[in-house]
Structure 1
């Protein structure tokens, strides 16, 4: 098979790593890719949002399958354009993609299709939004409506901070993504990430993990796109998995199909396990980042048949995926200044050494210039991932590898997995 993988981050590096191991693969082309993916496939310098160029590339390589990595490509309508060209695509249409690209759309969708979620309000006027804070209790949840690379969420402990966050969103910080602000009830419970595949009619649970969103140890600092994750997560009891599948994933797939956009791809259900059962925090219309990294380390089955089945409507012919018994963990190494103003350009050493078969370093924000030096080019720079017989074993391996990498000015959390393993001493 010839496969085109779209994207350039750590999630796409993990997908490329797993796709490259498939005996079904003939040729892997990655657009635009990053230095870490160069050994896995052919890189083409085409942006994930350049829909016409990506469709042309898929035709050029006679792609049997296109795999969409980032949400930006979904929002740009890549799956729609590939459908017109009759090229199988793993990834939803732009309409279905509104489940991520618009939080206001998703909240109204939950109302229409009876998905459990938090109370909310949507506003395009700062004064009205601030007045509506009277309907909520602190901490206040303030979100930019559109795609903001995981940075458009503020958990405000007091009203003054909440009002400042409203001004920040509607004041243009996030561009068009901040045209509206969404206020939400703060949900109490334990957060988790469950993934489900769909081929337009058949659904299948496809792994779970637990993320760490705050920038610093002890859940301090601003929200980020994710500073680390691990799988499996004990919060996902069999009952919680079944409830989440039935009340959130399957209702979402049925609902979006009823609205004329059958879902082809993976749905990332970020949920809060509350005393009243799972409630939706938000949907993402792609694999999580960095959740995908630990899922790929634990997935024993060949990934490619599942991707193809979602694209071609044959998921009902697939057996339940096989997962390794081992735990996996991912530690994100971030650039100085992330998430607000990451500093780029610093040289990185030690990231490309052999850490052993249980440790993989996925590139997320790196570049390589004519001088051959690996450099920082984004906020989240490297994902240091490890497998182990236990989560403690995996964490020990991951942090041992982190200690061998020099990322000038960079930082990472030292407590990934604390809900299971406790805080580090």
Structure 2
């Protein structure tokens, strides 16, 4: 088989790496890819939003399956366009991808389906949203405990946690007036802030059968101790002990099954990866958000542990035959991904800085360095994004996996490189 992976991040590098291990696969292409995918597959210079270019490439090269990694082409309808051409493609349709593409749509569906989530209000104008805050809180320092969210896609950054009235009004201004996240802020949500541990539960579904994957835990805030601004994710580990077997059964019965049924009732049947971002509150698990693809960086530690041929899973999903698939096989050892980022991220950062030490890190046992924001410049690997690398390791325990991941991190250098030092520490108290 020949397979095309669409995307250029750490998730897509992990997908290409795992797909290439299948004995059924002869060639893996990645469009547009990065410096890491160039090692494990063949890069194709086609952007994820170039639907016509991607379809033409698939036809000309007789690609058997296209795997769409990131959310943007899914929300824009790449799957629909490929299906219209009779091509095999893994991922949800445009209508189904609105579950991630619009937080307002998602919250309204959660309410309709009676799936536990935070209370919320939606607003189409900054003035209305500001008035809502001002009517309820008098002083700038009043405690509000709300989360302000841009409705559309914002690369994981359109969510602002606010402690005070003045912070809430500033967040509304950034999203709706200053348009910091562009068109994503044409609508916004003011939501009650939930407290507890966050966890990610991913499942693969063909619209009928749901195959739940081991729970992972992402680390969204930029700095140690979950401080600083939200990011696309600074690291993840899998499995997480905060979701035990009983909690997983509850998530499946109260969240995953109802959302798949709700999407079907809404005539938006869902096929692909369903990602539930959960907050484990004192009142039980509640949904923070849904994503419609593998998480990045959760994908990296998940696929590090997967033993089953990923191509079999992808094909069964496309063909509606997940019920015929044998239970997935996993390495019993936990894995950890530490994201190395550019100085300034999640704000402005410089690109083009030379990365050294990649070979030394890659030679360490049980380590895989997944590239995210990298590119090749005259044969040298340089930075090309905010989140640059996902250094992933597997070990006999979480602490051993962590040690191996950070040992690899220490081998890698570029000017301004940084990372969180506490990825997976939350697991040590369990």
| Helix, strand or coil at the partner of 1:280 | strand
Secondary structure of 1:408 counterpart = coil
Question: Could you say what secondary structure the match of 1:296 adopts?
Answer: helix
Does structure 2 retain, via aligned residues, the 8 Å contact 1:51–1:76? Answer: no
Q: Distance in 1 between matches of 2:235 and 2:75?
A: 25
Please say if 1:358 is aligned against 2:374: no
Task: Measure the CA separation in 2 of the matches of 1:138 and 1:321.
Answer: 44
Q: Distance in 2 between matches of 1:42 and 1:343?
A: 27
Which digits, 9 at most, give the CA deviation of each residue in 1:246-266, with x for residues without a partner? 111111111111111211100
Alignment-derived partner of residue 88 in structure 2:
88
Deviation at 1:70, TM superposition (A): 0.1
Q: Deviations over 1:93-139 (max 9, x none)?
A: 11110110110010111122221111011112122112323569632
Aligned pairs (5 A) from 1:99-178: 99-133=99-133, 138-171=144-177, 172-178=179-185
Question: Residue 6 of structure 1 aligns with which residue?
Answer: 6
Describe the SS at the equivalent of 1:336.
coil
Structure 2 CA distance, aligned partners of 1:305 and 1:245?
Answer: 23
Per mean C-alpha deviation after superposition, the further-off stretch among 135-144 and 103-112 is: 135-144
**Residue 177 of structure 2 corresponds to residue 187 of structure 1:** no
Aligned residues of 1:88 and 1:312 also touching (Cα < 8 A): no
Q: How does 1:27-46 map to 2 (within 5 A)?
A: 27-46=27-46
Q: Distance in 1 between matches of 2:365 and 2:61?
A: 32
Q: Deviations over 1:19-49 (max 9, x none)?
A: 0111111221111111101122221111111
Structure 1 runs not aligned, ≥5 long:
none
Deviations 1:173-227 (A, max 9, x none): 1111111111111112211000111112211102220011111111111000000
Deviation, structure 1 residue 410 = 1.7
Alignment of 1:291 onto 2:298 = yes
State the partner residue of 2:140: none
Q: Following the alignment from structure 2 to structure 1, what is the Cα–Cα distance between the partners of residues 136 and 314?
A: 43
Select which of 335, 348, 356 maps to 2:342: 335
Q: If the length of structure 2 is used for normalisation, what is the TM-score?
A: 0.95
SS in 2 for 1:221: strand
How big is the shift at 1:352?
3.2
In the alignment, structure 1 residue 382 sits paired with structure 2 residue 382: no
1:373 to 376, 380, 391: 380
- In structure 1, what is the equivalent of residue 322 of structure 2? 315
Residue of structure 2 in register with 1:244 after alignment: 251
More divergent stretch after superposition (345-354 vs 43-52): 345-354
* Counterpart-to-counterpart distance in 2, 1:286 and 1:256: 16
Decide whether aligned partners of structure 1 residues 230 and 135 sit closer, same or farther in structure 2, where only a CA change above 3 A counts. farther
What is the match of residue 223 of structure 2? 216
Counterpart secondary structure, 1:139: strand
CA-to-partner distance for each residue in 1:35-82, whole Å, 9 max, x for gaps? 101122221111111111111111122222111100011011011011
- Determine helix, strand or coil for the equivalent of 1:39: helix
Q: Per the alignment, in what secondary structure is the counterpart of residue 322 of structure 1?
A: coil
For 2:96, what is the secondary structure of its paired residue? coil
1:235 aligns with 2:249: no
CA distance in 2, matches of 1:96, 1:251: 15
Residue matched to 1:264: 271
Give the conservation status (yes or no) of the 8 Å contact 1:327–1:391: yes
Residues in 1 aligned to 2:289 and 2:423: alpha-carbon distance in whole angstroms: 22
What RMSD in Å do the two structures reach over aligned CA positions?
Answer: 1.3
Look up the match of 1:78: 78
Moved more, 35-44 or 262-271: 35-44
Structure 2: distance between partners of 1:16 and 1:116: 35
C-alpha distance in 2 between matches for 1:199 and 1:12? 21
Counterpart selection for 1:196 from 197, 203, 214: 203
SS at structure 1 position matched to 2:200: strand
Q: Structure 2: 5+ residue runs without aligned partners?
A: 138-142
Distance 1:240 1:56 in 2: 45
